[in-house]
Structure 1
Amino acid sequence: MNRRFFIKSGGLALAGLGLSGAIPGVLQSLASAQTRGRPGKTLIVIFQRGAVDGLSMLVPYAEAAYYAARRTIAIPRPGQAGGALDLDGRFGLHPALQPLQTFWKDRRMTAITAVGSPDNTRSHFDAQDYMESGTPGSKSTRDGWMNRLLQAQTSHSPFTAVAMDAQLPRSLAGPAPAVAMTNLAQFAIDAGRYTGQLQGGFEGLWEQRNQGGLGDTGRETFEAVQALKRSGAAARAPEHGATYPTGALGTSLRQLAQLIKADVGLRLGFAEAGGWDTHVNQGAAQGQLANGLRDFGGSIAAFLTDLGPAREDVVVVTMSEFGRTLRENGSRGTDHGHGNTMFVLGAGVNGGKVLGDWPGLAPEHLFEGRDLAITTDFRDVLGELAQAQLGVAPGAGLFPGHVLKPRGLLAA
């Protein structure tokens, strides 16, 4: 039985609502949930699918080896045309990420360098699976790390976890109920139509067959989806001067902001951005990668701006399956690498700092002689944020077999 409650392609689908005597776990959670948000914080996870070039996102401009290895695609040093935006005298942001510079200056953004998965695969599929399951090197893990995070929560609303996608990502796979949707406005319309059609049918049938048990659960489910419609989330326009890019990530974050501001109980949000597999004509300050980063940075900046005071309870973390090679290839691009960059933005972040142990780019320090080495396990970043934002205990089994090592992501 599919125990997930999800929205696909803008329409409404309720999975796992069988008429068996046992009440599916998703319905038990929904039946006990309040339809209005409980006090709490929110963690937003953005997955950059395709392996973004972290050495262009966070430019190690103090390293001569960086420029020696990238004759045509290196980001110039600060102060030069198309140069990096200086952060700390060693690293700079790609100029296309200029919208994020304000958050850095306000100490609401940090960057983690030389971060990633300890598994050495260069397969997109395997690397994404390992990171989303939270168990590098193991293909036997059934649930995702975000679902385990959800399982550890003591209170739920039907919209505690929402992925802005046509289907639940691997990160949210598992027994705890989660929602996936692509179009909040269409969902609100369909939810009202769907529940109106079924209230006199299936709901009555459940009551007859289960003496009120499953019937009560079904009624709570219908009330939950109608509550989203009544909240007016889909009608909320961007505020505080926020202007979202029109790409997929901007659309996803705009809708997550609508849910947060409507107070429907969102604690865990997921969005993704693709197009980072830049084997050919990657570009430098302009070009293919720059266009993607411009949309990426503009979308995050608009999201945090749009939230206004609500952003005090929101933290955003970005991740990608692996980085890219130090040396550019013969097609003026980069190939599959290892170490990468993660960004963390929000209130309470130990911002204005580049965190992580920088291994350097000298040949003897490279992973397998070609890639940025990893000195910070991605699970330490996600685990620390899970503890701080959602109150997950260190021993909750979020990342089986891994002992978390805090990286100082949060201000003391």
Structure 2
Amino acid sequence: MTSRRGFIKAGGLALFGIGMGGIPAFLAEAVAGTKPLGLFNRKKILVCIFQRGAMDGLMAVTPFTDEYLKAARPNLFMSAAKGGKNVPLIDLDGRFGLHPSMSAFEQVFRDKRMGIVHGIGSPNNTRSHFDAQDYMESGTPFKKGTDSGWLNRAVGLLGHDGATPFQGVSLTSSLPRSFYGEHPAVAISNLQDFNIQLRGNVKGANMAAKSFEDLYDQTSSGLLKDTGKESFEAIKMLQKTDTKNYKPSNNALYPNTALGNSLKQIAQLIKMNVGMEVAFAESGGWDTHFNQGTDTGIFARNVNDLSNSIMAFWTDMGTLQDDVTVMTMTEFGRTVKQNGTGGTDHGRASCNFILGNGVSGGLVHGNVQPMAVENLEDGRDLAVTTDFRSVFSEVADKHLNLNNDKVLFPEWDGSKIGVMK
């Protein structure tokens, strides 16, 4: 017989879109007799956004005074000078320029609430999307078989295991590698629909409601106790919430995109106070081998969506901004030199964005050397000068008050870079 705790706690419960309708009858009956979920004490929340496909950090935040970069990208290089053929970069500090389609970020950067880390990446030099994402999400870039993700370990270090099934939430169709592990985490693709799947083996990954009902029948005697009871109370709470007609605060306007909708739903869960402390969303389309564009095109659309989605979320948080930090990540960057099809190929270092009131903002952190060939990794790529773990650990430690880097990133013994106050 499958144990209640083994079934629910071990990453098994993936909730795809909990909302106003569609809860199977057996589940509705199971929660009918439970009392409403009480409010949790307000806690800090870390929101991580994975940009899958490898963002070109040299186009997002361009060292526009670098003549080597200009020569390497005759059709892709962007300038901060006004009056040229393209919309100019937003000059951040006389050296780095923000892509004009990310203008939504300018004010929080000027207000010193956003920091940027450039030259960030993995010490593992793989240029495989799958491997690089796996290493970054596991947090062990030289160990393939790690069975947990760094965000799941972060949940474990929070010190109140089992308090809520929504402690770690991913707004994705399946649980990301970052949340694999023994601590509670759920995947919710859409708050307005509902069904349940069991993550585990291939057959379990697509378990239908009937199969879940069979499993429920086997474990019903203890299912509504402890963690199980909390899980179903939280489901009941979400069922009664009118998520479809959610009204963002402060007239925040979310893009009608996958990322915009994910962050909007994260905002709803934060305001519902279901005990969420770590949230995850993702953004795709960053693998720009072809027709990357400059101030228009694929890349411009992607960074526009990223920045506008994040800033809509930030605006929506209003008085809760002190409780929230947002951090982006991407598996690697792009080549310094443009390719023959108007794009860039798989590279090494990129950049990331960190937004919050506890961030050492208004600065481009990190070490980016002039892009002469002798300074490039393998003679072609922006060198990784900041290990992603030094940034991820600092953000998590400072914002979530974690103090065990040996658990969070077990193979790492480096130093922090001062991206948080």
Return the TM-score normalized by structure 1: 0.87
Give the aligned partner of residue 127 of structure 1.
132
Give the aligned partner of residue 121 of structure 2.
116
Deviation at 1:224, TM superposition (A): 2.2
Q: Does residue 6 in structure 1 map to residue 11 in structure 2?
A: no
Give the aligned partner of residue 30 of structure 2.
none
Task: Pick from 280, 296, 300 the counterpart of residue 290 of structure 2.
Answer: 280
Q: Deviations over 1:6-29 (max 9, x none)?
A: 113668899xx9xxxxxxxxxxxx
Q: Does residue 226 in structure 1 map to residue 233 in structure 2?
A: no
Whole-angstrom CA distance in 2 between matches of 1:274 and 1:158: 27
Give the aligned partner of residue 247 of structure 1.
257
Question: Do the aligned partners of 1:203 and 1:215 also contact (CA within 8 Å) in 2?
Answer: no
Deviation at 1:39, TM superposition (A): 2.3
Whole-angstrom CA distance in 2 between matches of 1:122 and 1:295: 25
Q: Does residue 206 in structure 1 map to residue 216 in structure 2?
A: no
Whole-angstrom CA distance in 1 between matches of 2:387 and 2:331: 12
Q: Deviations over 1:113-149 (max 9, x none)?
A: 0000010001000000000000002111011010111
Deviation at 1:153, TM superposition (A): 1.5
**Structure 2 letter corresponding to 1:171:** S
Question: Do the aligned partners of 2:16 and 2:193 also contact (CA within 8 Å) in 1?
Answer: no
Give the aligned partner of residue 22 of structure 1.
none
Give the aligned partner of residue 61 of structure 1.
64
Deviation at 1:410, TM superposition (A): 1.5
Deviation at 1:231, TM superposition (A): 5.3
Give the aligned partner of residue 269 of structure 1.
279
Extract unaligned runs of 5+ from structure 1. 18-30, 190-194, 208-212
For residues 40 and 396 of structure 1, do their structure 2 counterparts lie closer, same or farther at Cα, with a shift above 3 Å needed? farther
For residues 247 and 278 of structure 1, do their structure 2 counterparts lie closer, same or farther at Cα, with a shift above 3 Å needed? same
Whole-angstrom CA distance in 2 between matches of 1:221 and 1:332: 50
For residues 74 and 132 of structure 1, do their structure 2 counterparts lie closer, same or farther at Cα, with a shift above 3 Å needed? same
**Structure 2 letter corresponding to 1:66:** L
**Structure 2 letter corresponding to 1:275:** G
Deviation at 1:188, TM superposition (A): 10
Q: Give the 3-state SS of the residue equivalent to 2:279 in structure 1.
A: strand
What aligned pairs does 1:153-232 form with structure 2 within 5 A after superposition? 153-155=158-160, 156-187=163-194, 206-207=220-221, 213-217=222-226, 218-230=228-240
For residues 13 and 400 of structure 1, do their structure 2 counterparts lie closer, same or farther at Cα, with a shift above 3 Å needed? farther
Deviation at 1:229, TM superposition (A): 3.2
For residues 185 and 67 of structure 1, do their structure 2 counterparts lie closer, same or farther at Cα, with a shift above 3 Å needed? same
Extract unaligned runs of 5+ from structure 2. 1-5, 28-33, 197-208
Give the aligned partner of residue 318 of structure 2.
308
Give the aligned partner of residue 21 of structure 1.
none
**Structure 2 letter corresponding to 1:151:** G
Q: Does residue 327 in structure 1 map to residue 337 in structure 2?
A: yes
Task: Pick from 344, 363, 370 the counterpart of residue 360 of structure 1.
Answer: 370
Q: Give the 3-state SS of the residue equivalent to 1:167 in structure 2.
A: coil
Question: Do the aligned partners of 2:51 and 2:282 also contact (CA within 8 Å) in 1?
Answer: yes
Task: Pick from 101, 105, 122 the counterpart of residue 100 of structure 1.
Answer: 105
Task: Pick from 62, 80, 93 the counterpart of residue 77 of structure 1.
Answer: 80
Q: Deviations over 1:197-240 (max 9, x none)?
A: x99x9589733xxxxx5552443332121123345555431121
Q: Give the 3-state SS of the residue equivalent to 1:316 in structure 2.
A: strand
**Structure 2 letter corresponding to 1:6:** A
Q: Give the 3-state SS of the residue equivalent to 1:397 in structure 2.
A: helix
For residues 297 and 78 of structure 1, do their structure 2 counterparts lie closer, same or farther at Cα, with a shift above 3 Å needed? farther
For residues 151 and 381 of structure 1, do their structure 2 counterparts lie closer, same or farther at Cα, with a shift above 3 Å needed? same
Identity, % of aligned pairs? 44
**Structure 2 letter corresponding to 1:62:** T
Return the TM-score normalized by structure 2: 0.85
Deviation at 1:266, TM superposition (A): 1.3
Q: Give the 3-state SS of the residue equivalent to 2:107 in structure 1.
A: helix
For residues 151 and 318 of structure 1, do their structure 2 counterparts lie closer, same or farther at Cα, with a shift above 3 Å needed? same
Task: Pick from 383, 395, 407 the counterpart of residue 393 of structure 2.
Answer: 383
